Amino acid sequence: MSQILTKDDVLKVAKLARIEISSQELEDYLKELSEIIEYVKQLEKVDTSNLKPTNQVTGLSNVYRNDQVLDYGYTPGDLLDSLNKIEDSYVKVKRVIE
């Protein structure tokens, strides 16, 4: 069966997601992602020309909050504690520029 995706497609998705994949994974994902898209493709059989896209299912609109500082019951320090690496209150990450 001809794949719906190419290896380049999979590599591009991996790159956008900042995920490194092995050549074996590339084969696997090519097959799996193609199958998923093939499955979802069934929807194309439905005539949607007269339908608006469904972006929301709740029917809500204008769910607002007033512009007031809220106390969420924790401190910023509590949040930092849950993060991986902290230096001088900054979040430490792999260097992103040269």
Partner 1 sequence: MSNPKDKVIKTKNHLDYIPTIGIECHVQLKTRTKLFSGADNDAKEAPPNTLINHIDLGLPGALPVLNKEAVVLAIKAAKALNTRASNFSKFDRKHYFYPDLPMGYQISQFDEPIILGGHVRFFDPTSKEFKIINITRAHLESDAGKNIHPDKKNYSLVDLNRAGTPLLEIVSEPELHSAAEARLYAEKLYLLMRYAEVTEGNLYYGNMRFDVNVSISKDNTLGTRAEIKNLNSFRSIERAVNYEITRQTKLLNSNQKIIQETRGFNDQQGTTYSLRSKENADDYRYMPEPDVPPIILENDFIDKVEKEIPKLPDYYTDRLRKLDIDEVSSYILLDYELEEGKGVLEYVLGLPESDAKAIVNWIINIESPIVLNNPNISSELLKKIHNIYLSLRAITKEGLINSNSIKELIKKLFQEKNIPEDLKQYISKLGLFQNSDSDELDQLVSKVIKENQKAFNDLKSGQQKAIGFLIGEVMKESGGNANPGMVKTLIEKKL
Residues that bind partner 1 (CB under 8 A): 16-18, 53, 55-56, 58, 60-70, 72, 74, 76, 79-80, 82, 87-97
Smallest gap, in angstroms, from Cβ of residue 52 to partner 1? 12
Cβ of 89: how many Cβ atoms within 10 Å? 8
Smallest gap, in angstroms, from Cβ of residue 13 to partner 1? 9
Of 8 and 88, nearer to partner 1 (C-beta) is 88
List b or e across 8-36, with b for residues whose CB sees 16 or more CB atoms inside 10 angstroms: ebbeeeeeeeeeebeeeeeeebbeebbee
Smallest gap, in angstroms, from Cβ of residue 47 to partner 1? 22
Of 1 and 51, nearer to partner 1 (C-beta) is 51
Of 51 and 60, nearer to partner 1 (C-beta) is 60
Confirm if 14 and 37 have CB atoms less than 8 A apart: no
Separation between Cα atoms, residue 97 and residue 61, nearest integer Å: 41
